[in-house]
Amino acid sequence: MLKLYSPPKNSHKGQNGKLFVIGGSKKYHGAPIFSLLAARRFVDLLYFYPAEADPYLISAVKNIPEVIVVNDFEKLAECDCVLFGIGLSDAKFDIARLRNAKKLVIDGDGLKLIKGNIPKNSILTPHEGEFKFLFGADGTKRNVQDAAKKNNCIILKKGPIDIISDGSKLKTNKTHNQGMTKGGTGDVLSGLVAALCCKNSSFNAAVAAAKVNGNAGNMLMKKYGYNFSASDLAEMLAESLSHLYTKEGNEK
């Protein structure tokens, strides 16, 4: 049974997760916002560094009161996890700046920058097309596991059946529905993965996030059919997690 971190009784602000998110561009404002909305209930402190200094992007993010927008990397090294790449588009970014990250989740356009040079122990969240781009093969169970082992990373390959592997262990997730094909739902998932990764093992965070995210989609389907959005999905995550896990973090 998978167990998730639960905040200790005497803990204080900052001890239960600090997440640093890097992404967004002039072209894509929504992607990092979906990730931030997904993460905000699961960490104590949430920082955002815009990959491209676009005023509209920064203004939009500042409408999320839990997010602290920063213009340097001073906080990165003290954060438990960094989420990189959502909504990056063709914005220029030096990935060497990520070298001090304790844990690293890479999604979206960030995956394009690491082909042939995948950071060790990182979590990658590609869909089928991105997996083929990175590894030149279909995203089968065997190929996902082999790629994770060869590159010393964790892969959450998104699809009708999610495949999660660290090169040794392998899990699948079938909990979701076709309403989750809408744009932004992958950004929600990466935000949740990164938030849970702050205080859980990377593999457990990826496995739990896939199920919690999919279960949130199924809960929305019961209410609205397939007529829900990525924003709705992000708002449903906390309720979904409470349905699947006790307050002590035990899987129900």
**Each residue of 82-119: pLDDT tens digit?**
999 999 998 888 888 999 999 999 999 999 999 989 99
> What are the residue boundaries of the structural domains of the chain, listed by start?
18-244
Residues 35-88 have pLDDT tens digits of 999 999 999 999 999 999 899 999 999 999 999 999 999 999 999 999 999 999
Nearby residues of 74 by Cβ (< 8 Å), 6 or more positions away: none
CA angle 136, 137, 140 (to 5 degrees): 155
pLDDT for 82 equals: 98
Give the predicted TM-score (pTM) of the model.
0.97
Domain 18-244, classified CATH 3.40.1190.20, yes or no: yes
- Taking the C-alpha atoms of residue 251 and residue 2, their distance in angstroms, rounded to an integer, is 6
- pLDDT band (50, 70, 90) for residue 1: confident
Q: Evaluate whether 191 touches 83 at the Cβ level (below 8 Å).
A: yes
